[in-house]
Structures are given as structure tokens and as C-alpha cells.
């Protein structure tokens, strides 16, 4: 993406001395940053951002960026901005915002609830769910859940890194794990909860997601995938009785939990989300 950068105003960033003769006309420089970072700061023209120690190390040591190089930054509220590195310290790298590269736009509102699975596969699930545009991640402890502890902080970092990589403008929240009873009792009843039913008792996914919000009168959806081994019969019976629950089947094959979640998200984005839209950059 090309940005109009005036050398007279940025001579230090490009290694020019103050007494050097500079062109009086702006020069169009094609700036294509190598890195993209999520920050919590308010983003506005000419504001300064100091990166965390971890982000500074990544920028300077891993990606070998220095003063005068550029990065994209976003905060989930103010769109995406082009920033110039002013101070390439490995412990506190400092950036100055140059221009907004993309405005903040609404995103599809699809949540993912899941019974936690083993670490490597859970990290994979969270990463790919973020790439597929999920807006909230909710771990739920079910009868057959094989994991007793969920590292929410680690999953939040995984979600942030995935959002940076896939060029989305927000990072989804990762909730504290809840047991199934508490999860269902606190559920917003105006949001449809699409439960992936591996027994084949649910409606075909294209039938469920092919119905528009205007036709159903419900708020944006959530997808709920159970543990390895599936929901228990008691759990499925309890879910089936809830007015906000719709049981969904993904076809004749038995899928791993992470595969089922990603298939469902991909179908939802294609049929009801932004899966058919073009990239904005």
C-alpha cells in the first residue's frame, strides 16, 4: 500500500542529515510493512506508541526492523494504522502513527463455545477459529471433557497473534471456563446456540445456516462443539429442551472436535457471514 511521505518531515527516519538538501515536493514512497501488531492504545494521527517488551523483541530481534521501518497497528476500535519506528529499542520500541490504512468496520458476530481438548489441538482450534472470524471463544466443561485446566492467558495470546496474522481488525475475547450448567443458565436467550450433534439427530447445517436472521428473528449465532466422545445422552436431552438451542449435523462422517468446529464456522461465514467478500487491503 502506498502512502504519501514527505522527506522534509522524515529525514531522520531515512538517515539524512539536517543540512542535506531535500526535495521540496512530497515523494510517494511505497510502504509495505513486514509486521502487524495489536495494541491497546488509542490510535490517532501523530500519536506515539511504546510497544511491550515482548513486541519490541519481536519487532527488533526477530523481524530485524529498525528506525525508519514501518508497521501496521490496530486496537479493535480505531481501525488499522501505518506506524513508523522512531526508536528501535529491543526492550521498549517506540512507534509514531503516520496515517490510517483501514477504517474500523463491523464484523460478523459469531461465537464459538467448545469443550476443551488437549493443548496442541486446542491451540490449533483457537488459531483457526480466529482466522475464520469468530468474535468470542467460550470454553465449557462437559461430562466427558478430558481436560481439567484451561490456560486462558495462553489462549488469549494465541488469539491475538492469529488476528495479527490474518489481517482482521479485532481480537476475540476468551472467556473463563464454565461448567455446562452455569454456561447454559447465563446464556443470552436471544442468541441462537447451534449445537453440533454427532449422533445425527440434528438438522443439516446448510438448512440451519441457510435461514436468514430476518426469517428466524434471532440475534447472531453461536456454535457449540462438544468434547472427544461427544456430549452425553443426558446433556443432549437437556440441550434439546432449551428454546434457544438448535441441533446441527455435519454429515455422515465422525469428525474430531476441532475439525467439526472449523467446518461449522466455515459454513456459517460462507452462508451468513463475510465469507464471500473480497479482502479490504
pLDDT by 10s per residue, the chain, length 281:
545 554 444 444 444 454 555 554 444 457 789 999 999 999 999 899 999 999 999 999 999 999 999 999 999 999 999 999 999 988 889 999 999 999 999 999 999 999 999 999 999 999 999 999 999 999 999 999 999 999 999 999 999 999 999 999 999 999 999 999 999 999 999 999 999 999 988 999 988 987 654 455 445 799 999 999 899 999 999 999 999 999 999 999 999 999 999 999 999 998 888 877 777 66
- Report yes or no on 280 lying in a domain: no
Q: Are residue 134 and residue 236 in the same domain, yes or no?
A: yes
- Report yes or no on 23 lying in a domain: yes
Q: Are residue 144 and residue 257 in the same domain, yes or no?
A: yes
- Report yes or no on 237 lying in a domain: yes
Q: Are residue 88 and residue 116 in the same domain, yes or no?
A: no
- Report yes or no on 277 lying in a domain: no
Domain of 90, in residue numbers? 2-102
**Among 54, 71, 102, residue at a domain's last position:** 102
- How many domains does the chain divide into? 2
**Among 46, 76, 102, residue at a domain's last position:** 102
Question: Would you say 171 and 206 are in contact if contact means Cβ atoms under 8 Å apart?
Answer: no
**Among 58, 74, 102, residue at a domain's last position:** 102
- Going by their DSSP bridges, the two strands 48-50 and 94-102 should be labelled as antiparallel
- Looking up residue 133, the CATH number of its domain turns out to be 3.40.1280.10
Torsion (CA) 96, 101, 106, 107 in degrees, nearest 10? -100
- Report yes or no on 281 lying in a domain: no
In which residue are the cell numbers 481501525 written? Answer: 79
What count of other Cβ atoms lies within 10 Å of the Cβ of residue 235?
20
Q: Are residue 141 and residue 267 in the same domain, yes or no?
A: yes
For the whole model, what pTM was predicted?
Answer: 0.85
Q: Is 54 helix (H, G, I), strand (E, B) or coil?
A: helix
Amino acid at each position: 500500500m502506498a502512502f504519501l511521505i514527505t522527506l522534509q518531515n522524515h529525514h531522520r527516519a531515512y538517515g539524512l542529515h539536517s543540512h542535506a538538501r531535500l526535495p521540496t515536493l512530497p515523494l510517494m514512497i511505497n510502504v509495505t510493512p513486514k509486521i502487524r501488531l495489536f495494541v491497546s492504545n488509542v490510535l490517532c494521527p501523530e500519536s506515539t506508541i511504546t510497544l511491550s517488551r515482548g513486541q519490541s523483541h519481536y519487532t527488533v530481534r526477530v523481524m530485524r526492523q529498525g528506525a525508519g521501518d514501518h508497521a501496521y497497528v490496530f486496537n479493535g476500535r480505531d481501525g488499522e494504522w501505518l506506524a513508523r519506528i522512531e526508536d528501535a529499542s529491543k526492550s521498549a520500541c517506540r512507534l509514531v502513527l503516520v496515517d490510517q490504512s483501514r477504517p474500523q468496520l463491523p464484523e460478523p458476530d459469531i461465537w464459538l463455545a467448545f469443550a476443551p481438548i488437549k493443548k496442541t489441538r486446542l491451540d490449533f482450534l483457537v488459531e483457526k477459529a480466529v482466522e475464520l472470524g469468530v468474535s468470542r471463544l467460550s470454553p465449557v466443561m462437559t461430562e466427558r471433557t478430558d481436560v481439567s485446566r484451561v490456560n486462558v492467558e495462553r489462549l488469549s495470546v494465541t488469539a491475538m497473534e492469529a488476528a495479527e496474522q490474518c489481517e482482521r481488525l479485532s481480537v476475540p475475547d476468551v472467556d473463563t471456563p464454565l461448567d455446562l450448567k452455569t454456561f447454559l443458565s447465563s446464556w443470552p436467550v436471544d442468541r441462537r446456540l447451534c449445537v453440533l450433534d454427532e449422533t445425527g439427530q440434528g438438522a443439516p447445517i446448510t438448512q440451519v445456516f441457510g435461514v436468514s436472521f430476518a426469517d428466524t428473528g434471532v440475534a447472531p449465532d453461536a456454535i457449540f462443539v462438544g468434547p472427544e466422545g461427544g456430549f452425553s445422552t443426558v446433556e443432549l436431552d437437556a440441550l434439546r429442551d432449551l428454546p434457544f438451542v438448535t441441533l446441527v449435523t455435519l454429515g455422515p462422517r465422525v469428525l474430531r472436535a476441532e475439525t467439526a468446529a472449523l467446518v461449522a464456522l466455515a459454513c456459517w461465514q460462507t452462508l451468513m457471514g463475510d465469507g464471500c467478500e473480497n479482502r479490504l487491503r
